[in-house]
Amino acid sequence: MAFNSLNRIFHRLSTDDCFGWIVRRRVFVLVVIGALTLFFLSAIPRLVFNTSIYDMVIEDIDETRQYQAFKEVFGSEEIIRVVISCRDVFGAAAFRQISLVAETLRRIEGVRRTISLPDIKKAVDLSGTWSLETFRNRVADVPLLRNNLLSDDHGTTLVTLVLADGADHDRVIARVQQTIDRAGTDLALYQMGMPVISQALAVFTERDFFRLPPITFLVVALILFLLFRNGRDVLLPLACVSLALVWTLGFIAMTGLALSILTMIVPVFLIAVGTAYCLHIVSEYRHRTVRAPSPEAATLATFRTIAFPTVLAAGTTVLGLGSLFVSRIVAIKTFALFACGGMTSFVVIVLTFLPAALSLMPLRKPEKRAGRRPPTIVQRLIDVIVSLNLDHRRITLPLFAALVLVCIIGMLRLKVETNPVGYFRQDAQVRRHFDDIHQRLSGSFPVNVMMTHGEEDYFQRIEAIEALQRFQTFAQTLPGVDKAVSFSEYLKLVNYASNRYEPADYRLPTESFEVRMLVNSYRMMLGQDMLDAFMAPDFSRTNIVLFTNIASSGDFLRLRDRIMDHVRTGYPHEIAWDVTGFGIVISASSQQLTNGQIKSLSLTMAMVFAVMFMLFLSWKVALIAIAPNLFPIVVNFGIMGWLGIELSMATSLIASVAIGLAVDDTIHYLVRFNREFKTDLDPQRALRTTLNHMGRPIIFTSVTIGVGFAILIVSGFKPTAVFGAMMAITMFSALVGDLILLPSLMQYVELVTLWDLARIRMGKDPGLEIPLFHGLSRTEMHSILMAGTLKKVTAGQVLFQKGDPSDTMYAVISGRFEIIDFETSDGPGVSHGIQKHINFARKGDILGELGLLRSAPRSATVVATDAGELLPVNWNVIRRLQWLYPPTALKFFNNLLTILCDRVENLTHCIANESLVDDLTRLCNRKGFCGILEREVRRAARTGQPLTLCRIDVEFENNHHRNKNNVLRQLGTALAGCIRGGDTLSRIDTRQFVLLITDSADGDHGAVLKRIRQAANRIRRADAGEKPFSIHLSTTTVPHEPATDGDQILECTLACFESRSHD
């Protein structure tokens, strides 16, 4: 089986090669590890932080492409709004300061244009002679400016900074903040916008990066000390984790990739996971030191047992994290890369540094125990868990099913949301500013609606302008939209200014030629740049800006859907509509989390299933192994659904991270259970022993990881805090799944396969014991063995009877079987008459192979003399083998042909041995003669009559085989006519005859010998020259006290011949 093969490979490598080499050269290994650590440490100062909401964008979706197309026409619409509050913005001192601030902001590199009250004053007061009171009277009630640049109480205004495409947001924000800080105390200023939100996220995550990992490290150290109360058992895991962190951070720095929102989690992840792996190893080492003669022996024994499951668990964790590469979000892929790199580094460290360090540590002194100590709390808990698994499965499993059902219902309530503002706590400054600008003016997250017509100058027609105004009016009624601004609104402002600011002229023109005239005035008054912000150069496309207070991805998408539903009717069909903006892009990207999560989770489950199937070659075991890994994920998402916690970019990582952590304990449990179960095939004893051995490290690892992640709850960044809380819940769920669900389910399926059962029953490799499997690999044998089941038979049971229909052969795994026939005339299938024993079949033999090949009636009856087990192989299995594994089928048939040839050869020997007549001369052969000789010697011994044995040797003068046979045939016929009726003539060798003369006392044997000589001479004279030969006769007396059988009597007699030549 694959598990045994891999385990043997690791066993051989760990004891004889890798770990033996590491232990012998431990100082060299530690020096190399130290050098590598210094190498990675030197790269850490090059770490780059670039935590931004823009990391959440998926580049290859339609929304992103639409946004890029929009920016190619209208430029970047990313804005920063600087809110300015004072007693009265139209006060002379205040307006002068506001103008100074606006001018300073306009000159910042990366700002394409600014929109502010001072800019509007310059545009409409071409002479520059207006007083502020006049300006107030003429613009205070203009709808374009209300709740856009001016609050209703005239106490708040803002400067909108439209950023150039590709601008350095951090630099612009820093320069804006410098301007704010230098402003007078009479003004209250702050900045808001998506770039500001993004930078605030960076500040929080960078702060958490430098604060949370050290706190987690200290908490884990405290937990380890409380668990082990031994400095060595605490320091070594922490040393491994520290080395892994240095290697990982150095690796990140060398890739040149920046740490983002998600990659900030990697250090905490490595601390938690690394500690868990080390706990398993340290627990096994403490167990081995009890009987080990030296630290080196204890280390080798530990890694001989733990290396395989550790590498396997790490590999499965990497596969789980690697499934995140299917995500279309770059930040998630980057997290997967760094986490996989960290896990790889940790595995290298734990398999090199840790054995080298452990082998240098002195063994612990055995604890002096005064009597039997009472069981600890953990041991009592394990005893309860064992009882639940063995005695209360009928209660626990339905409870699990009910809990899963409740969580599945909760999962249906789960919402996918990306809310950058919601990432901050209510008292965070950026959150307060976001709410304040919405209440005083209008929201700072713009949505752009682009109207496109295929005809140039279309939007200089009055009907197009009216449609534009009609949509703008509708847009301002939408939930979340504070202000809608379009070309038509600015056109009304220009018309208002061109007609001496008469309130009645704040309207749209009524004719298309008026529109074209106002466009020229628009350029002169507001500038070409302001026109380009709302209208394409050929007037075939226009842009409507919706200033929203929306931050939720769901609200953005619902706004888009409402707009698209509205414009399907009441507008010319030639107009194409696109709702875009960075908020729409982020929202659409976040919706991909659902599909990405399903793909990632499905891929992870498939890989875990594949790993488990390759280990145990059983789909049932593979499915059961998935259950405790899937259970915590279902619980996590179910709780999120019931509590209203959104599925965001951070919480979407929980599934892959949880599987990577949970599968560690699952593999350790299954490997140990597999080892225990195969000692005696007792599942209950194996469960009890496994939980007593693995329960403590599984509990300790889950508690340690859970507490490690729980530290994230103190983060001021809500996604990190939620991630930490849900991971703590997930780890508790994984603990319950590994200690209760997994063992309970394992009681319903045998971890051992037919391969293992065959190996256990036979005590050896079935490929060596069963001739049918000679030369097959373990995988090839498995493909045959797993197709059937073991057939148990009891002593005295008839497997099949002679004459039964047949299509199956059997490999004997254990027991003893007798092959018999019944001599009767009643036909086949009877079990009476004279019983004739044919043979015995024992472990490794094959029964009924002819029945498999030709489906003929059974030729004999097979009865079990001892209880045993058989492996049936039928023709359906072979056909499937031919279809799926042709090379294996070829080897199988070659082995079957070899078995049949051996049977034919054996039958030939049996037939030859049973024959009593020589085929050439038709005289008795040696075997027949020996039987007669034995009887005659016994008779002569009773009667006292002598026996004489005459030996007749034939010699040829040439070696022609055909001539010899003719001579021997004629000679045999002639000699048979020369003997008396009571004598026996036999051919016992190629050129040797013997004649047994009974009652030879009367001297008649002389006449017999004379007749023999005469017959030979007649043959010689008749064919002279063709068959030249000669015969030699010699006689001796057969002793009356011979050996026990005829063959020995003959040998003794021939050995003591008194030669006598008769020519």
Residue 47 pLDDT level (bands cut at 50, 70, 90): confident
pLDDT digit string, tens, across residues 585-642:
888 887 776 666 677 777 777 877 887 777 766 777 788 888 888 898 899 889 988 9
SS3 for 815? strand
**Residue 257 near residue 49 (C-beta atoms within 8 A):** no
pLDDT surpassing 50 at residue 826? no
Domain boundary among 363, 391, 425: 363
Q: Say what the pLDDT of residue 501 is.
A: 84
Residue-level pLDDT at 1026: 54
User: Tell me, what's the pLDDT at 14?
Assistant: 43
Hey, which of 103-107, 290-294, 764-768 has the most confident mean pLDDT? 103-107
What pLDDT is recorded for position 367?
A: 57
| Same domain, residue pair 624 and 765 | no
Question: Are both 159 and 127 inside the same structural domain?
Answer: yes
Query: Is the pLDDT higher at 576 or at 827?
Result: 576
Q: What is the pTM of this model?
A: 0.65
The answer to whether residues 763 and 908 belong to one domain is yes
What is the model's pLDDT at position 9? 47
Residue 958 lies in a domain: yes
Look at the block and give the residue holding tokens 């900030």: 264
Give me Rg for the CA atoms of the chain: 49
Q: In this model, does residue 40 exceed pLDDT 90?
A: yes
Asked whether residue 970 is assigned to any structural domain, the reply reads: yes
Rounded Cα gap, residues 175 and 378, in angstroms: 59
Residue 15 has pLDDT above 60, yes or no: no
Tokens standing for residue 268? 């905490």
Residue 543 has pLDDT above 90, yes or no: yes
What integer is the mean pLDDT of 219-239?
83
Number of structural domains (the chain) is 6
Alpha helices in 650-741, H assignment, sequence order: 654-680, 683-710, 718-736
Residues 541-563 as b/e (b if ≥16 CB within 10 A, e otherwise) read: bbbbbbbbbbbbbbbbbbbbebb
Residues 742 and 758 in one domain: no
Query: For position 48, what pLDDT does the model report?
Result: 82
pLDDT for 827 equals 46
Look at residue 438 in the predicted model and tell me its pLDDT.
84
Distance CA(170)–CA(80), nearest Å, equals 12
pLDDT band at 948 (very low <50, low <70, confident <90, very high): confident
**Span of 519-528, 749-758, 908-917 with lowest mean pLDDT:** 749-758
The rounded mean pLDDT for the chain is 81
Q: What are the φ and ψ backbone dihedral angles of 225, each rounded to 5 degrees?
A: -65, -40
Q: What is residue 416's DSSP assignment?
A: B
**Residue 769: its pLDDT value, please?**
65
Region 404-414: mean pLDDT is 90
The answer, yes or no, to whether residue 840 has pLDDT greater than 90, is: no
Q: Could you tell me if residue 370 is inside a domain?
A: no
Q: Please compute the mean of the pLDDT values over residues 135-158 and round it to a whole number.
A: 87
**Alpha helices per DSSP H over 44-168:** 62-74, 92-106, 117-124, 132-139
The mean pLDDT value for 937-955 works out to 83
Query: What's the average model confidence in pLDDT over 559-582?
Result: 91
Q: Quick one: 971 and 868 in the same domain?
A: no
Tell me: do 1044 and 990 sit in the same domain. Answer: yes
In this predicted structure, the answer to whether residue 782 has a pLDDT above a threshold of 80 is no
Residue 864 included in any domain: yes
**What's the CATH code of the domain at 240?**
1.20.1640.10
pLDDT classification of 82: cutoffs 50, 70, 90: very high
492 versus 228: the higher-pLDDT residue is: 492
pLDDT computed for residue 1016 by the predictor: 81
State yes or no: pLDDT of 776 exceeds 80: no
Residue 654, domain extent: 380-412+618-746
* H or E element that contains 1052: helix 1046-1055
* Domain shared by 889 and 764, yes or no: yes
The last residue of one of the domains, among 363, 395, 421, is 363
- pLDDT at residue 42 tops 90: yes
Cα dihedral 880/881/882/883 (nearest 10)? 50
Does 125 or 53 have the greater pLDDT score? 125
The amino acid at 350: V
* Range from 251-255, 695-699, 750-754 that averages highest in pLDDT: 251-255
Average pLDDT over residues 31-35: 94
The confidence score (pLDDT) of residue 627 equals 84
In this prediction, residues 435-457 reach a mean pLDDT of 88
Q: List the structure tokens of 267.
A: 């250090």
Q: Residue 114: what residue type?
A: T
Residue 15 carries which DSSP code? I
* Residues 928 and 917: beta-carbon distance below 8 Å: yes
Between 995 and 875, the more confident residue is 995
Which is nearest to 220 in space by CA: 704, 661, 698?
704
- Is residue 768 domain-shared with residue 903, that is, in the same domain? yes
Is the same domain home to 770 and 907?
yes
One-letter amino acid of 587: S
The confidence score (pLDDT) of residue 229 equals 76
Residues 567 and 508 in one domain: yes
pLDDT for residue 389 is more than 90: no
Does 597 fall in a domain? Answer: no
One-character DSSP codes across 999-1035: SGGGSTHHHHHHHHHHHHHHHHHHTTTTS-EEEEEEE
> Residue 865 pLDDT > 50, yes or no?
yes
Counting residues of the chain whose pLDDT is more than 70, the rounded percentage is 87
Average of per-residue pLDDT across 832-856: 76
Sign of CA dihedral 349, 352, 355, 361: negative
The reply to whether 919 falls in a domain is no
Residue 290 lies inside a defined structural domain of this protein: yes
> Is there a domain that residue 1017 lies in?
yes
Q: Is the pLDDT of residue 571 over 70?
A: yes
DSSP of 352-375: HHHHHHHHHSPPPPPPP-SSPPPP
Span 533-562, average pLDDT: 90
Least confident range from 165-174, 274-283, 599-608: namely: 599-608
Mean pLDDT of 56-74: 86
User: Do 776 and 892 have their domain in common?
Assistant: yes
Indicate whether 899 and 761 sit together in one domain.
yes
The 3-state DSSP class for residue 190 equals strand
Q: Is the per-residue pLDDT at 450 higher than 90? A: yes
Task: Give the pLDDT mean for 771-779.
Answer: 72
Measured distance CA(528)–CA(531) in Å, rounded: 5
Maximal CA-CA distance, the chain: 173
**At which of 331, 363, 395 does a domain end?**
363
